[in-house]
């Protein structure tokens, strides 16, 4: 039991340190469907997406939305839970005019990003996003 707790704590620390270079806080992760590498890969995809596609947005935090959200999304998509990741992001938009459906100068909390893959060894792809 102590080893399990220590392993979980170590994984959480690694995730926080891995995201430090991007200025993004990454919350803890625990799942029966995926491991911490799966989570970190999905986080990396989301950070890259913000850098490349979400111009005028400042990503502040990424959290795992829990297994229940993954299960629900997987059922709706007809996919195995191991092939669906649900992340919630906190970010702000700048004051420039937006054409992406987001409001200018707004802070979004728990904005959901759905990432999917066809098998548990493929790369994650963002397939949906929406405000909660």
Structure tokens at 78: 């007809």
Domain range list for the chain = 2-130
Nearest to 61 by CA among 37, 88, 85: 88
Give per-residue burial for 33-67: e unless 16+ CB within 10 Å, then b.
bbebebbbbbbebbbebbeeebeebebeebbbbeb
pTM: 0.82
Distance CA 29, CA 40 (A): 9
Identify the three-state secondary structure at position 102: coil
Give the pLDDT score at 37.
96
The Cβ-side half-sphere exposure at 118, using a 13 Å CA radius, reads 0
Q: List the chain pLDDT tens, one digit each, 132 residues.
A: 545 444 444 444 444 444 445 689 999 999 999 999 999 999 999 999 999 999 999 999 999 999 999 999 999 999 999 999 999 999 999 998 887 889 999 999 999 999 999 998 899 999 999 998
Give the pLDDT score at 24.
95
DSSP label at residue 82: G
């Amino acid at each position: 039991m102590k080893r399990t707790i220590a392993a979980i704590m170590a994984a959480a620390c690694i995730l926080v340190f891995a995201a430090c270079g991007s200025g993004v806080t990454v919350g803890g992760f625990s799942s029966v469907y995926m491991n911490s590498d799966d989570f970190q890969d999905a986080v990396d995809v989301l950070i890259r997406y913000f850098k490349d596609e979400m111009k005028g947005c400042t990503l502040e935090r990424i959290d795992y939305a829990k297994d229940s959200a993954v299960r629900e999304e997987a059922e709706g998509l007809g996919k195995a839970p191991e092939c669906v990741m649900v992340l919630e992001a906190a970010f702000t938009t700048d004051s420039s005019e937006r054409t992406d459906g987001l409001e200018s100068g707004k802070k979004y909390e728990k904005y959901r990003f759905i990432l999917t893959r066809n098998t548990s060894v493929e790369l994650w792809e963002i397939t949906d996003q929406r405000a909660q």
